[in-house]
Each structure stands twice: as structure tokens, then as C-alpha cells.
């Protein structure tokens, strides 16, 4: 079945450090891939998405490229801020309305 | 605020009691989803409505769970005879079906956190 695996947290970085959160997937067909972010006390918000191979999703300085050959969708940001501290969820949907999420990665950014 | 809203935000109940949660989607959205999120895990799909029709149910949704969306607007999720294993965050999401399914975006509410004692 379809599944998503993402790196365990917490990931702790200093402000302005480079961020990578790894995400790999298993899916039949041609899924859409996405990253959602969950700030403390809030609901999940879509951060970025990509719907086909080699697409790059980007938002708020975050980027992720849909790599079909490595079945990956790693999240990157060149310079993190304290306000980026949150839980990040990688996920996919593959032709149905059901979203499948990874377990989440908590990011802590220290000033 | 025109986002997805959920009530209550927190619920504490004793084992064996019934609980009901409400979700109000974004007004023009015709699709509505329920997910469950346990500690340290990502959200897991429970069920999905298009307008008032419940089109898919996960195997996670036991007979004690029932969801309705009577007029195609708000939805309720009821859990009967709650068990401690039902303790989780229950998330609602909505989307608009006017685009291809892979282009749709689900918008999530803040969730209802249930604790069963």
C-alpha cells in the first residue's frame, strides 16, 4: 500500500542554519506530494505541494522537489528562523481523496 | 474567520460515555474529511463526504463511530461507548471539488482533542 517515511525528530537548529527534512514515499501510480506544517495549538496548514515528477514546490523560503527516481520529496530551507519552529508532515495522495501522512518531524530553532 | 472550525476544542470523558464532535467546513467546500491523529503520529484518514454522501470509510472507523453530514454543510462525528484507545486528536478538513483530484488542497481545522479516562 501507499506510505510515507520521514526522518524522526526533533531537529534542533540555530537561527539561520540550513534545514533538510528527508521524506521518501511508496505509492502506486503517480501521486501528488505535499508538506503540511502544524504550529503549536493550530491546525495543519499546507506549506507546499508538487503534482508530478521534477516539479518543485516552494513557499515561505521552503522548497521540495518531486524526485520519482529516488521516490523522495525532501524539504529544505536555506536559513531557518525561530518562527519556523513547528511540526512538519510529509504526505501524498494517489488518485483518491485520502491523504497519507508521515509521522511528522518536530523542528526547534534556537535564537 | 472563514477557515475550518471544530467544536469543542477539548473533551474529557469517562470510558463508556458517548461523545460528539462538530466540524464546520469552509462555506463553499463540498468535500469534508475526518482524520485521527495520535501522539507522535501523522493524521490517519477516517472518512470522507461529498456533499451529504459518505463515500469512503476507513477500517479504523469501528462500529462505535458514526459520522454524518445531513445537509452537506457541517458534519458530526460521534463515538459511542468510548474506550481509552479512542484518546486522540480528531481533525476535520474540507476541500472544493472544482479542480482535478490531484490538484485539490485539503484545509484542516484546529482539531478536537479527546481524552478518555
Please indicate whether, in this complex, the C-beta atoms of B106 and A99 are within 8 angstroms of each other: yes
Torsion on CA atoms B7, B37, B83, B53, rounded to nearest 10: 60
Q: Which residue is closest to A30 within chain B, CA to CA?
A: B102
Query: To the nearest whole angstrom, how far is the Cα of A43 from the nearest Cα of chain B?
Result: 4
Q: Which residue is closest to B43 within chain A, CA to CA?
A: A101
Instruction: Give B-chain residues touching A98 at CB under 8 angstroms.
Output: 33, 45, 48, 56, 58
Q: What pLDDT digit, counting tens, does each position of B2-51 carry?
A: 799 999 999 999 999 999 999 999 998 999 999 999 988 999 999 999 99
CB-nearest partner of B110 from A43, A46, A102? A43
Q: What percent of chain A stands above pLDDT 90? A: 83
Please list, in sequence order, all residues whose beta carbon lies within 8 angstroms of the beta carbon of residue A63, skipping any fewer than 6 positions away: A48, A56, A57, A75, A76, A77
Q: What pLDDT digit, counting tens, does each position of A64-96 carry?
A: 999 999 999 999 999 999 999 999 999 999 877
Q: What is the pLDDT of residue A1?
A: 84
Interface contact A105, partner B, CB < 8 A = no
Q: Which residue is closest to B49 within chain A, CA to CA?
A: A97
Q: Cα separations (Å) of A49 from A21, A52, A100, B64?
A: 15, 10, 14, 35
A14 membership: H or E segment, kind and range = strand A11-14
Q: What is the pLDDT of residue B37?
A: 95
For range B98-105, the mean pLDDT:
70
Amino acid at each position: 500500500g501507499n506510505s510515507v517515511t520521514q526522518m524522526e525528530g526533533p531537529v534542533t537548529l540555530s537561527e539561520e542554519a540550513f534545514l533538510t527534512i528527508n521524506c521518501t514515499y511508496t505509492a502506486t501510480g503517480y501521486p501528488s506530494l505535499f508538506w503540511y506544517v502544524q504550529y503549536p495549538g493550530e491546525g495543519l496548514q499546507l506549506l507546499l505541494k508538487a503534482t508530478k515528477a521534477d516539479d518543485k514546490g516552494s513557499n515561505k523560503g521552503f522548497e521540495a522537489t518531486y524526485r520519482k527516481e529516488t521516490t523522495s520529496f525532501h524539504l529544505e530551507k536555506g536559513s531557518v528562523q525561530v518562527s519556523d519552529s513547528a511540526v512538519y508532515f510529509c504526505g501524498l495522495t494517489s488518485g483518491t481523496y485520502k491523504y497519507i501522512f508521515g509521522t511528522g518531524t518536530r523542528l526547534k530553532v534556537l535564537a | 474567520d472563514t477557515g475550518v472550525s471544530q467544536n469543542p476544542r477539548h473533551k474529557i470523558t469517562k470510558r463508556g460515555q458517548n461523545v460528539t464532535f462538530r466540524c464546520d467546513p469552509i462555506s463553499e467546500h463540498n468535500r469534508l474529511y475526518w482524520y485521527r491523529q495520535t501522539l507522535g503520529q501523522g493524521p490517519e484518514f477516517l472518512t470522507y463526504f461529498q456533499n451529504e454522501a459518505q463515500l469512503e470509510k476507513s477500517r479504523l472507523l469501528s462500529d462505535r463511530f458514526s459520522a454524518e453530514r445531513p445537509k452537506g454543510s457541517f458534519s458530526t462525528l460521534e463515538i459511542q461507548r468510548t474506550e481509552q484507545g479512542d484518546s486522540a486528536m480528531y481533525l476535520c478538513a474540507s476541500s472544493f471539488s472544482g479542480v482535478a483530484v490531484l490538484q485539490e488542497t485539503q484545509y484542516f481545522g484546529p482539531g478536537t482533542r479527546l481524552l478518555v479516562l
